[in-house]
Structure 1
Amino acid sequence: MTATPSHDTEIATFAAGCFWGVEDTFRKTPGVLDAVSGYIGGHTQNPSYEDVCYRDTGHAEAVEVTFDPARVSFEQLLGQFRELHDPTQVNRQGPDVGSQYRSAIFTHSPEQQAAAEEWKRGLNESGTLPRPVATQIVPAETFYRAEEYHQRYFEKSGRSACHI
């Protein structure tokens, strides 16, 4: 379930393809206090990895980021999100294909919604991308923590990178 931020922390939730590399990158970001892999944006309660990958649950693989806004801003996290994946791809990232790998920002406040919309508008107007940004920007719903073997996957598996 979704973590509850304290008075001096905020939550941001990003979907940028396979959550292993996204979690690892955000976890190493100064000002990020925690990053958790999970599922969001679907219609099935308590989905499993198998449900998300092989059934039509509507969920995206995502990472819930708890951060200290005095140390890292939401806008800085948006910049990092941009560097982690190709926001012009629809329902895929690298070799991973399916709606669970879509690009999405799940906002937790009107301020995050406005910042994410401005980020998307700015990218589209920059002329630096080959196609329009496909990233969905929607209010956050229930975040379901992924199975424990997905948490800190790179640390546990000894891998140091994936396709992102």
Structure 2
Amino acid sequence: MAKAIFGAGCFWGVEAFFEKFEGITSTRVGYIGGNLDNPSYEQVKTGKTGHAEAVKVEYDPTVITYSELVNIFFETHDPTSKNRQGADIGHQYRSAIFYNDASQKYIAEEKIKEWDEKGTFKRPIVTEVVKTTTFYEAEEHHQKYLQKNGSVACGIG
């Protein structure tokens, strides 16, 4: 299986959205891109660790491509909103694609250009494209949160 990591605001809804698609074999929510080892949700939500809430997606590339995953990512959130998704405000809710290799980086950058040129959004995309660092899985009660708890507004933890 191949892996991809996306930050698109509150990870609960992003995880649930990705799970709908054929070819996605696993999802895990967690934290990436910060300056603290093994951060907790309580630490990350303060915005002081530098981490983004993110979703690690494992997928079968013979069923769904990385390019298709990036398209799904842009459908999950507002990539023109810097450090904010809905009521969630802060760097931990940034729009980010964490690439694993040069191919993923290239595809992510080209998809940003493509989506900007399509004019789907009224403002330019501000999604960060950054190299994957250590992904720390969130606490177990955050995994599959919406499946376990129903539709709950993000920002409540």
Give the TM-score range, shorter chain.
over 0.9
Deviation at residue 160 of structure 1 after TM alignment: 3.7
- The structure-2 alpha-carbon separation of the partners of 1:55 and 1:77, relative to structure 1 and needing over 3 Å to count, comes to closer
Query: Are residues 1:106 and 2:98 paired?
Result: yes
| C-alpha distance in 2 between matches for 1:30 and 1:85 | 20
| C-alpha distance in 2 between matches for 1:162 and 1:131 | 25
CA RMSD, 1 decimal: 1.3
Unaligned stretches of 5+ residues in structure 2: none
**Partners of 2:33 and 2:51 within 8 A in 1:** yes
**Partners of 1:21 and 1:161 within 8 A in 2:** no
What's the CA shift string for 1:111-142, capped at 9, x where partnerless?
A: 10000000011122223321110000011000
**Partner residue of 1:127 out of 114, 119, 124:** 119
Query: Are residues 1:94 and 2:93 paired?
Result: no
| C-alpha distance in 2 between matches for 1:155 and 1:96 | 21
What SS is found at the alignment partner of 2:141?
A: helix
Which amino acid counterpart does residue 41 of structure 1 have in structure 2? G
What SS is found at the alignment partner of 2:58?
A: strand
What's the CA shift string for 1:1-27, capped at 9, x where partnerless?
A: xxxxxxxx1100000000001111112
The number of residue pairs the alignment matches comes to 154
Q: Runs of 4+ in structure 1 displaced over 3 angstroms?
A: 160-163
Deviation at residue 161 of structure 1 after TM alignment: 6.4
| C-alpha distance in 2 between matches for 1:100 and 1:21 | 15
Unaligned stretches of 5+ residues in structure 1: 1-8
Q: TM-score scaled by structure 2?
A: 0.94
What's the CA shift string for 1:24-55, capped at 9, x where partnerless?
A: 11122110010000000111100000110125
| C-alpha distance in 1 between matches for 2:45 and 2:151 | 23
